[in-house]
């Protein structure tokens, strides 16, 4: 049972031409049974007559600010710096939430002072479909991490048959929906703003792990996500090609560049098995890009230009655990 002294949770959501999702997202957040919430929104330049105006007209009690489109990480950092809660719920707008979603996340984080992040069972939301669009298809139950430094959303696309009904520790959470201890976010420096969009959640999970923090999954916290960009790395070569064809060039450019930034920041001291697997994956990635998406090679120049900033961040990482503590999470 939640006591009246429940710690405050600040919910942070970014908007960008999100008008169609706002009624469902905000109504299910307003219906949360957790007693100590503040909801904060930032409109990343949706334009006049859009998201900002709709929220002001329909939910004047919700704090919202607007500004230029500064990306996912910087946008959430702006909300985090203004947050007054002990916990920060980083949530996507293209979601609807069960009434006890926040309550179960708070309970999961509070079980251990070393837990930085908790996430729940995110299922696919068929926006506009029957039964309020709720499905039994898994969207994510956390980040799955391979020796090759390939990452994917665990369970994505599979049917929920109870295989993820046990609470457990995970490497980290997808950026779609997680609750974080503010103390932990401050410890590692929030999201890295070198990442405009994509892979910033992996980088944050990595840095929290290096700093000795934990992440957990609880199946009791359920939400539904209308994901528009699926994993760009998983599957065999033919499914990979088919999947990547559905994504824009800009998305693939962000994903590729940010993966390289994340790797150069966090890759350190691993065993020969990890080094070999990572080198082989990098080689295959290069061959794939050379054959099918040669335009991505231009991002190498941008990566070189960013190396001084990357090196500063790499030197500032708080490495409180040995590499083998990170390797244990690799599949």
- Confirm if 95 and 102 have CB atoms less than 8 A apart: no
Query: 108, 320, 130, 97: which is closest to 225 by C-alpha?
Result: 97
Predicted local distance difference test score (pLDDT) of residue 243 = 61
Six token digits for residue 140: 């994510």
- Confirm if 154 and 233 have CB atoms less than 8 A apart: no
Instruction: Express each pLDDT in 257-271 by its tens digit.
Output: 999 999 999 999 999
Predicted local distance difference test score (pLDDT) of residue 46 = 82
Predicted local distance difference test score (pLDDT) of residue 49 = 66
Instruction: Return the CATH architecture of domain 9-225.
Output: Alpha-Beta Complex (3.90)
Predicted local distance difference test score (pLDDT) of residue 156 = 96
Predicted local distance difference test score (pLDDT) of residue 95 = 98
Q: Measuring CA to CA, how many Å separate 153 from each of 1, 176, 320?
A: 31, 11, 26
Six token digits for residue 307: 């190396």
Predicted local distance difference test score (pLDDT) of residue 47 = 77
Residue whose structure tokens are 């539904």: 224
Predicted local distance difference test score (pLDDT) of residue 4 = 54
Q: What is the mean pLDDT of each run of 10 residues along the chain (331 residues)?
A: 75 96 97 97 85 96 95 98 98 98 98 98 95 96 98 97 98 98 98 97 98 98 86 55 72 96 97 98 96 95 98 97 98 92
Residue whose structure tokens are 């898994």: 138
Predicted local distance difference test score (pLDDT) of residue 50 = 85
pTM recorded for the entire structure: 0.94
Distance CA 9, CA 4 (A): 13
Predicted local distance difference test score (pLDDT) of residue 231 = 61
Instruction: Express each pLDDT in 206-234 by its tens digit.
Output: 999 999 999 999 999 999 999 875 566 65
Q: Residues 89-98, buried b or exposed e (16+ Cβ, 10 A)?
A: bbbbbbbbbb
Positions of CATH 3.90.550.10 in the chain: 9-225
Predicted local distance difference test score (pLDDT) of residue 1 = 39
Q: What are phi and psi of 269, to 5 degrees?
A: 75, 20
């Amino acid at each position: 049972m939640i006591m009246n002294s429940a710690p405050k949770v600040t919910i942070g959501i970014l908007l960008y031409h999100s008008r169609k999702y706002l009624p469902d997202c905000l109504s299910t957040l307003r219906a949360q049974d957790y007693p100590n919430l503040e909801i904060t929104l930032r409109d990343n330049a949706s334009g006049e007559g859009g998201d900002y105006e709709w929220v002001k007209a329909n939910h004047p009690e919700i704090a919202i600010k607007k500004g230029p489109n500064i990306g996912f990480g910087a946008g959430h950092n702006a909300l985090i710096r203004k947050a007054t809660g002990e916990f920060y719920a980083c949530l996507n707008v293209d979601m609807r939430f069960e009434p006890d979603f926040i309550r179960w996340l708070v309970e999961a984080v509070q079980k251990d002072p070393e837990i930085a992040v908790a996430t729940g069972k995110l299922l696919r939301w068929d926006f506009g479909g029957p039964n309020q669009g709720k499905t039994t298809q898994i969207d994510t139950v956390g980040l799955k991490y391979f020796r090759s430094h390939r990452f994917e959303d665990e369970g994505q696309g599979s049917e929920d048959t109870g295989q993820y009904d046990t609470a457990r520790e995970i490497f980290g959470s997808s950026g779609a929906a997680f609750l974080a201890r503010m103390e932990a976010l401050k410890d590692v420096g929030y999201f890295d703003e070198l990442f405009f969009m994509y892979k910033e959640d992996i980088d944050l999970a990595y840095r929290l792990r290096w700093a000795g923090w934990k992440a957990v999954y609880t199946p009791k916290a359920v939400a539904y996500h209308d994901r528009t960009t699926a994993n760009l790395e998983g599957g065999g070569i033919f499914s990979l090609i088919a999947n990547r064809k559905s994504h824009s060039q800009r998305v693939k450019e962000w994903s590729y560049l940010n993966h390289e930034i994340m790797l150069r920041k966090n890759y350190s001291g691993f065993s020969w098995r990890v080094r070999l697997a990572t080198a082989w994956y990098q080689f295959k990635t290069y061959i794939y890009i050379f054959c099918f998406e040669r335009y991505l090679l231009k991002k190498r120049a941008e990566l070189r230009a960013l190396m001084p900033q990357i090196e500063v961040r790499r030197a500032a990482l708080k490495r409180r655990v040995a590499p083998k503590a990170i390797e244990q999470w690799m599949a």
